[in-house]
Chains A and B, each alone.
Chain A
Amino acid sequence: MTSAALGSSTATRSTASLRHRLAERGIDTSLLMLVPALVFALALFIYPFTYGIGLTLQPSAATQEKWGGGAFSNYVAFFKDSFVSDSVWLTMRLALPAALFNVLASIPMAFKLRHRFRGKKLLTTLLVLPITLGTVLTAQGLLIFAGRQGWLNRFLIQIGVIDQPLALVNNYLGVMFSLVISGFPFAFLLISSYLSGIDPSIEAAAKTMGADWKQRFRRIILPLLAPGLATTFILTFVLAFSVFPSARLVGDAMGSTRVMALMAYRAFGEQIDYPMASTIAVMMGVIELVVITAVLLWRSFLYKGSTGGKG
């Protein structure tokens, strides 16, 4: 009796059945609802992905011969073949500025357009339109509208701003336009929703304490918005980094817009070099991961708590 009293500093043992104890920790038959999703995730994502990584270590005979390096021959080829490795820089050269622009341009727009006003719904619907159009249609449209014979150039020549048509498509600019047209609405919608998640009474409080709109923006809104901005940047960057059809259709596929996705497809569909294709695909993932981690690290130094409203 006394020993039990002395030793009773530890919690009393539960007398519930195993089933109940498991249920306390969240394990019961309802977990079966998760199974189909898990099956799909494993079969269609995890397995192929690991298979792909394994493939990268099984270079074709031709690659091995040309680049050496044994099992890592694909990676050697990736870094040494400038035709391929340059694509990393070329993709970043497109994706980073595009993502930055989309996010930064959305901020003043979201800020100005956050209050109710007549036609707000119409404006938002129109802004969402490009998301539904898709990259291929945008590409075709850009080729016609912004091409040498297109209306844009004609108009600019007509009003005398330029005498020769500008080369706006089939180059870096063309792809950039495409990225902005498809990426900006997405960034705008996300940032608008983050902005609306900031409790308006916090701003009202700042007002009553003497802060004009510049001070309110810099000291209250921006710090509270920054984590959302980081997330938006990451998502927009992912979209831009994955650019594929536009780079071919309105870009210069073998030249200045030779993005990694194109290189990967070239290995897959044209050269039928599956290991090499997987290598490029994996490298895409890695580089993207590096950028995302950098942004997330930066974000972790910011205030991450609740912004007071339903965010």
Chain B
Amino acid sequence: MTAKTATSGAHGVGSPPTPTKKRSGARAPGERSLAASPTTWFVWAGTAAFFIFLIGILVSVVVDSLGKSWFNTWLPESFSKDWYSNAWGQFQMTHIIGVTLTVAVVVIVISVLVGVPAAYLLARRNFPFKKTVTLLFLLPVLMPPITYGIPLATVMYNIGLGRTLTAVILVNLVPSIPFVIMTMTPFIEQINPTIESAARMSGASMRKVFTRILMPLLIPGILAASILVLVRTVGMFDLTFLVSGPQSDTLVVAIYRAMTAAGGGEARQLISSMAVIYTLTMMVILIVALRFVSPTQLVARVKESRED
């Protein structure tokens, strides 16, 4: 036995593997497959139920928006696109979408301009009262928007900014700036700080370090954070609703007003068409944005490999 093992190694160089039974290499012995136990059934059943609801909701709204009238039957009797043209005309969709996008873009730009430098300091420096400052930035994310929204809206009305675009932008900044700070701080932390030292040894001033070394590295993080802010702002109801008026409603608020208008709200199908427009807008925004960045860049990376 020993002779065999001593020499087989030397001859083993280059020889093909002996044709013993080949087995799948995906699962360690004893590990149950993805389709085995009761918990797995629970998980799959739960996921299925979730997706049934999700898809059901989406499709119902789409179908509703396209039907001429739909009350008692599985499907509408006939289809038309009137509701869309109605919505567009009656509700000045163009204007509303414009408002929504304007608010979103302005909020993103200001949040990034204000938040990234703050995040840099929090990530790299220790300074007195750092903990207090961090808490200060954390609070708006932790509190219900209503809690700070109502006093803020009161102030807005008091200084005459009620129902204006400016007010909408300002209130949306309150959660967005901390959000950018919270997302960018860990991102900056994971950039090796010694490269800044290396740049300075090569003669770069602080400003040059920022613009030539840091910013290119921060761009992916900023883009990812911007997308998240975008989604939050376009979808943000509570804060905007408190301070907006007919000329400064964002899309979600407009839909809500339509649903709750006096006298039982607008026609359900009209609202459905607005909802579909909203979803499409959101999807377009996301698709465009996701071309520039991968959303997993802000999430921890998974360690899997046990191979040498």
Residues of A within 8 A of B (CB): 25-27, 30-31, 33-34, 36-38, 40-41, 44-49, 51-53, 55, 105, 108-109, 112-117, 123, 126-146, 149-152, 154, 177, 181, 184, 189, 193, 196-197, 199-201, 204, 213, 234, 238, 241-242, 244-245, 248-249, 260-261, 264-265, 268-269, 274, 277-278, 280-282, 284-285, 288, 292, 309-311
Pair B125/A26 contact, Cβ less than 8 Å: yes
Within the complex, the shortest CB–CB distance from A94 to chain B, in Å, comes to 13
Q: Which residues of A contact B148 (CB under 8 A)?
A: 45, 48-49, 52, 281, 285
Q: Are A144 and B127 in contact (CB under 8 A)?
A: no
Pick the 10 closest A-B CB pairs, nearest first. Answer: A52-B151, A141-B57, A26-B127, A33-B117, A242-B144, A37-B118, A134-B235, A285-B147, A145-B60, A144-B60
**Within the complex, what minimum Cβ distance (angstroms) separates B71 from chain A?**
6
For residue B306, which residues in chain A have a CB less than 8 angstroms away from its CB? 200-201, 204
A-B contact pairs, 24 of them (CB 8 A): A34-B117, A37-B137, A40-B173, A40-B177, A45-B148, A49-B148, A52-B151, A112-B39, A113-B43, A126-B54, A137-B61, A137-B278, A144-B272, A181-B53, A184-B50, A200-B304, A238-B144, A244-B238, A261-B146, A261-B238, A264-B150, A265-B146, A268-B154, A309-B300
What mask results when residues 122 to 159 of chain B are scored 1 for a CB within 8 Å of chain A, else 0?
00011110100100110110111111111111110000
Q: Which residues of A contact B23 (CB under 8 A)?
A: none
Given contacts A45-B140, A245-B238, A268-B150, 6 further A-B contacts (CB under 8 A): A41-B137, A48-B154, A105-B46, A136-B256, A245-B237, A278-B151
In the complex, the chain A residue whose C-beta lies closest to that of B306 is A204
Instruction: For the complex formed, measure the closest distance between the CB of B246 and the CB atoms of chain A, giving whole angstroms.
Output: 14
Q: How far is the CA of A132 from the CA of B233 in the complex (A)?
A: 11
> Which residues of chain B come closer than 8 Å to A112, judged between CB atoms?
34, 39-40, 43
Residues in B with CB closer than 8 Å to A149 are: 71-72
Neighbouring A residues of B170 by C-beta, 8 Å: 44
Dominant SS at the B interface?
Answer: helix
